[in-house]
Amino acid sequence: MKLMEYRIDAVVEAFSGAERVCVFTGAGASKESGLPTFREIDGEWKHYDPMTFATLEGFLSEPVQVWNMYRMRQRQIGEAQPNGGHSVIAQMERQYPHFLLVTQNVDDLHERAGSRKLVKIHGDCWGMRCLQCCETYDTRDFDFPAEFTTETLPICPKCEVLCRPDIVWFGEFVPDDAMHAAVWSSSTCDLMLVVGTSGEVSGGYGFVERAAMNGATIVEINPTEGILTQHAHIWVPEPAGVVLPKIWQCLTMYK
């Protein structure tokens, strides 16, 4: 059954009958909170060369520039607020006995909305990782300047070796534990909710295809059609921050 012209009651029914839920979010969820996206046509990469700012080689040749770009990103994240979509997703984890949020977003808007059962498959913009011992740290636990210089770059407290942003860059793999959790949840869920991702980057992971193959109902919330839309049983072409609170309200009344 494919409902390209969605009815809200069909979405509410899908939510209502579910027990095992996997939510998969992408840049669109953050964009609704005013955070510019990196990978879209009008995104930030227009101003930054991804070969410098999103590869290990680029980082090693220009660590100050790269760190200062992430510092700027941290400031943008700090100023952004979670939206209604983030808030409903946080409430969902308390509603369903089996739940996992798999996000490609490196900001902390999901956590600030209250999400705890989540994996961040592309890393965390607040994190830093030692190039030698691979220990990760929260940059907020250090008294770093607003802008780094060669002398003040983040250094591992144990090894005194340079730390990199804890982000999965181009050509790098999603960390094993995050990948396993995402594969397990998408393989065993009975409802997969896809929010704000075109699937261009994530399509290769096959989460949505896996869920569909195992009989899950796929609901996609995304104002524009993406490559994952073909797998959706129900496509809701609206911003999640607007429509998810409506769905959630209907669901509460329905129960």
List contacts with Zn ion (CB under 5 A). 130, 132-133, 156, 158-159
Q: Which residue's entry shows tokens 């090894």? A: 159
The verdict on whether 180 is a catalytic residue reads no
**Token pair belonging to 69:** 């770009």
Please report how close the Cβ of residue 33 comes to Zn ion at its closest, in angstroms.
33
Strands 234-236, 98-103: parallel, antiparallel or unpaired by DSSP? unpaired
CA atoms within 13 A on the CB side of 121: 23
Q: Are 3 and 10 in contact (CB under 8 A)?
A: yes
**Token pair belonging to 1:** 């059954």
Q: Considering 86, 110, 122, 233, which one is annotated as catalytic?
A: 122
Rounded Cα gap, residues 77 and 134, in angstroms: 25
Comparing CB distances to Zn ion, the nearer of 61 and 132 is 132
Comparing CB distances to Zn ion, the nearer of 34 and 157 is 157
> H or E segment at 98?
strand 98-103
Please report how close the Cβ of residue 158 comes to Zn ion at its closest, in angstroms.
5
Please report how close the Cβ of residue 129 comes to Zn ion at its closest, in angstroms.
9
Comparing CB distances to Zn ion, the nearer of 113 and 128 is 128
Please report how close the Cβ of residue 160 comes to Zn ion at its closest, in angstroms.
8
Residue 238 CB neighbours (<10 A): 14
Comparing CB distances to Zn ion, the nearer of 131 and 179 is 131
Phi and psi at residue 228, in whole multiples of 5°?
A: -85, -15
Comparing CB distances to Zn ion, the nearer of 132 and 224 is 132
Q: Where are the alpha helices (DSSP H) in the chain?
A: 8-17, 27-31, 50-53, 56-61, 63-79, 84-95, 109-113, 176-188, 207-213, 240-254
Phi and psi at residue 246, in whole multiples of 5°?
A: -65, -45
Please report how close the Cβ of residue 68 comes to Zn ion at its closest, in angstroms.
22
Q: Which residues form the catalytic set?
A: 122
